[in-house]
Amino acid sequence: MIEIRDPSCTRCALHKTAQFVCLIDKGIKPSEVMILGEAPGKREDDTGRPFVGRSGQYLRRILDEHHVEGFIGNAVNCRPPDNRSPTSTEITACRYWLDKQLSVVKPKFVLLLGNVALESALQMRGIAKLRGKPIERDGIHYFPTWHPSYVLRNEWDQATFDTDIAAFARLIKQVKTPSVTNPVLVEDEATFRRMLTQLRGSVSFDIETTGLYPWKGEIVVLGFGTRKHQFIVPMPISDEWMADLDDVIQDCQLITQFGKFDSLWLRVKHGIRWTSSFDVGLAHYLIDENAPHDLEYIAKRFLGAEPWDVPLKVKQGHHGIPALVEYFAKDLHYTRALKFVLDEKLEPCLKKIFKHIMMPCVGLFTEIEFDGVYVNVDKFDEAEEYLRGEVAAALKALKRWQPPDTFKGKRVIKRIPFNWGSTKQVGYLLFTTLKIPIVEKTKKGAASTSESVLKRIDHPLVASLLKLRGAQQQLSFFIEGWKPFLVDGRWLHPSFKLHGTVTGRLSSEHPNLQQVPRDPRIRQLIDAPPGWELIEADLSQIELRVACELARERQMMYAFHHDIDIHWLTLLNELSRTMAMPELIMGTAARLSNRQLNYSESVRVLLERGPDAAIEVNFEWKERRKKAKAINFGYLYGMWWKKFRIYARDNYDVILTDKEAQDSRKAFFSSYPDITPWHTRQQNFARRNGYVLSLSGRKRHLPDALDPYDTPPRAEALRQAINAPVQSFANELNLMSALQLRAEFPRSIVRICGTVHDSILARVKKEHVVEVGKRLLEIMKHPILLDTFGITLSVPIEAELKVGPWSLGVSLEKYIKRQNENQPESRKAMASMPRRLRV
């Protein structure tokens, strides 16, 4: 420890006004890292202690968070009067003391806070341009960023400051620990055996393949990373080697980068089950859902790695194994190295989600993807034929309006045949040739030909055009689109991305199981093979229930506890507000109660009897309830009345005046009085913290919410602040149930086919449908993992089960009844059922 300061320094005029002259930390010793600030502030000057002011404390906190420590000094060591910044003269004068500090501390890394530090250390100005970019001079790595006091004044820049400090921490790590790979090519028996002896404990695992779809492609290499080596095993290998490897791997903790992919390939190609213990990509997803999650990005961010990616052809082995060794070794090295960094970085709540939901889902979804979903081939061909007929008919009907040929662009480039699928050509036909007035424009300014626009155009061709689009789309999405993915002509293996969304929901692709139309013609193609039944279990109105829980909304809470249909409640609230539809309401109520009632009594009767009874009396209620559903979701998540007008028009052909739309929005919030305070709470939290939390502790980062000005991005972030926790938790409930279903029944009885946000799709052995169905409903109402997370819900959770081809499924009671009709001897199943199942 050395003291270098001189209290009688007179190198500049500041010594005349400062209480404390030459305020340098007393104990200086060598340190790899130095942080250079501007000058002492009032608090420092008053106490004689450095970095005790507001910005000093803030700085220490951020540095702590990123595990950066080192000697903290200032560019100027006496407090300038009137809170002004030091002048260039003062900075130059005090450079003497900076040199002294540098000569004692001997830093390798210097963090420069603000323009004054930048000028003092490097004689450069312009922090706005230079911040975030490391500058190396005389063997020292300088890193300029803003001064913390600036950041405190401009709190929307806090996120950037934070990433700057993170980048500085990375810089330190990178220079200190350069990436070292030590690849071993495993081709002979001796090397293979040596590898087996070294595969212990934490081993990173990765493969390279010739494609994305394991049913169409080959594995090129297997790779295993240990602390010292990266073992690279060219494929194929003998069954004996594979068996011995399998034995050893079962005792290792595998670290992977999106290891579901690798596990699936191994399962499909070799029938072996390797499960990841720690997935780097998924950990990173929980830490920062907004960022990319590829290994190269994560490794750059947390280990300062330089890019090492190679062209796809190289990875696929087209240039021989030696060409991919270096690349593949880096993958294995960084995957393993990142485990230790990210494990540290996961906060307790996120770690819980990681451990109890995300990692178990890797295993679950490997299996889901492996098992696939069964497609009814006969119906598939039938649907194809029907749709082709529809397309042909629509084209024929459109023929009379079709121009002979049209030209591409303004200048005649070439003749191309008229294409009803081209929005551009259709737009030209409608709005130029036929002179129909333009209704709406697209984002880029072209005349829109969307469904909503076409519906508002009074011309005989629109009906056929809409028909064409519908049929053409179903044909190309779900018939042609599925064909390349069909395995053995009847199995689809959709893939699920566990990191597919920013809210924690999954996404599905190749093909996307989550966007199969509800239209039975398509949906029923998804079924179960002979001997099995398809079941679909969904969480009823789950997002509204979760929103109700979070908002502690009393009206909704009452409705859910008394089994009142929430969309129905909203509808009746909406109608009774203006005493609207008296004939419909009083008429239906009269039919239901067999006597004449006044308006408000009628509303009460309808509320009690529920929508199904009302729909039986008058089918009009069905559409009305659907509309109320839209009201619930729209307004709940911050929809504005203008959008609601459009929504009502496009989906329900309901034309509302501005006033009516405004009133309906007001009415929604007054019939659910706790929604607005919840919105406010969420928005304030997001504005203060830049993120929001779900019930399970998942974070949704919303940096735009920190902006002090009411900008569109901020408005968007504030709406997301309301929606994200709801969506996120609803999905987690579904995943918890799926995990439990798998844990409770063997694969010989139940195979899960996929999840669709709030529902589970599975096939069950015929003899076990009732047993499994009943249990699944129980699970969904209270998955055991809720207790693990210590979550107690006030709102009841309900679930519904359907048995049979997708979209054609029937309730368990109906299913049992049907079974008994077909085979009267199986009465036992009926006897085991409760009188009335809650569905």
Partner DNA sequence: TACTCTAGCGCG
Partner DNA sequence: AAAGCGCGCTAGAGTA
Which residues contribute to the site for DNA (CB under 7 A)?
Answer: 408-409, 419, 421-425, 442-444, 446, 448-452, 469-470, 473, 476-477, 480-481, 497, 500-503, 505, 507-512, 514-519, 538, 630, 633-634, 637-640, 642-643, 647, 710-713, 715-716, 719-720, 723-724, 727, 756-759
Integer angstrom CA distances of residue 560 from 556, 566, 572, 577, 769: 6, 7, 16, 21, 28
d(CA 767, CA 749): 9
Q: Nearer Cβ to DNA, position 14 or 777? A: 777
CB of 515 to DNA, least distance (A): 4
Minimal distance, residue 419 CB to DNA, in Å: 5
User: 305, 179 in Cβ contact below 8 A?
Assistant: yes
Q: How far is the CB of 429 from DNA (least distance, A)?
A: 11
Residues ≥6 apart with Cβ < 8 Å to 41: 53, 55, 56, 79, 83, 149
- Considering the complex, state which of residue 125 and residue 456 has its C-beta at the smaller distance from DNA: 456
Closer CB to DNA, residue 241 or residue 297? 297
Q: Closer to DNA by CB, 182 or 442: give it.
A: 442
Report the C-alpha gap between 714 and 703 in whole angstroms.
9
Region of 96 on the Ramachandran plot (φ > 0 left; ψ -120 to 50 alpha; else beta): alpha
Q: Cβ of residue 647: shortest distance to DNA, in angstroms?
A: 7
Q: Which CB sits closer to DNA, 245 or 516? A: 516
Task: Identify which of residues 257 and 759 has a Cβ nearer to DNA in the complex.
Answer: 759
Provide the pairing of β-strand 71-74 with 135-137.
unpaired
DSSP 28: B
The size of the chain, in residues, is 839
Residue 280: exposed, middle, or buried by beta-carbon count in 10 A (0-12, 13-18, 19+)? buried
Closest distance to DNA from the beta carbon of 715 (Å): 4
The distance of closest approach from Cβ of residue 538 to DNA in the complex, given in angstroms and rounded to an integer, is: 7
Shortest reach from residue 541's CB to DNA, in Å: 10
Cα 569 from Cα 594, distance rounded (Å): 22
Residue 267 CB, nearest approach to DNA (Å): 21
24 residue type, one letter: I
Residue placing its CB nearer to DNA in the complex, 325 or 726: 726
* Residues 544, 548: Cα–Cα separation, whole Å: 6
Pick between residue 336 and residue 701 the one whose CB is nearest to DNA: 701
Strands 526-527 and 373-375: antiparallel
> Which residues, other chains included, contact 690 with Cβ-Cβ below 8 Å and sequence gap of 6+?
158, 159, 701, 702, 703, 705, 706
Alpha helices in 526-598 (DSSP H): 542-551, 554-561, 566-577, 582-593
The least distance separating DNA from the CB of residue 260, rounded to whole angstroms, comes to 14
Is 202 or 662 the residue whose CB approaches DNA more closely? 662
| CB nearer DNA, residue 707 or residue 771 | 707
SS3 content of the chain, % helix, strand, coil (to 5): 55, 15, 35
Smallest separation, CB 11 to DNA (Å): 44
Beta strand pairing call for 230-234 and 183-185: parallel
Measuring CA to CA, which residue among 619, 742, 804, 697 is closest to residue 349?
697
3-class secondary-structure state, position 365:
helix
Q: Least separation, in Å, of the C-beta of 523 and DNA?
A: 8
What minimum distance in Å lies between the beta carbon of 129 and DNA?
Answer: 20
Residues 291, 301: Cα–Cα separation, whole Å: 10
| Least distance (Å) between residue 696 CB and DNA | 17
The amino acid occupying position 714 is R
Task: Pick the closer one to DNA by CB: 170 or 627.
Answer: 627
Q: Measured between alpha carbons, how far is 489 from 208 in angstroms, rounded to an integer?
A: 27
How far, CA to CA in Å, does 418 sit from each of 396, 407, 467? 13, 9, 18
Nearer to DNA (CB atom), residue 104 or residue 715:
715
For residues 120 and 727, which CB has a smaller minimum distance to DNA in the complex? 727
Give the Cβ contact number of residue 291 at 10 Å: 13
Distance in Å, CB of 312 to DNA, minimum: 8
Tokens of 373: 């979903």
Question: What is the DSSP pairing of strand 406-407 with strand 415-416?
Answer: antiparallel
Whichever of 179 and 406 has its CB closer to DNA, that residue is 406
Q: Rounded to an integer, what distance in angstroms lies between the CA atom of residue 599 and that of residue 709? A: 48
Q: How far is the CB of 588 from DNA (least distance, A)?
A: 27
Nearer to DNA, 469 or 751 (CB): 469
Q: Count CA atoms within 13 Å of residue 763 on its CB side.
A: 19
CB of 447 to DNA, least distance (A): 8
Q: Where do the DSSP E strands lie in 376-475? A: 406-407, 415-416
724 versus 776: smaller Cβ distance to DNA: 724
Residues 63, 140 contacting (CB under 8 angstroms): no
Please check whether residue 727 is in contact with residue 550, taking contact to mean a CB–CB distance below 8 angstroms.
no
Cα torsion 265, 269, 274, 278 to 10°: value is: -10
Cα 720 to chain center, whole Å? 12
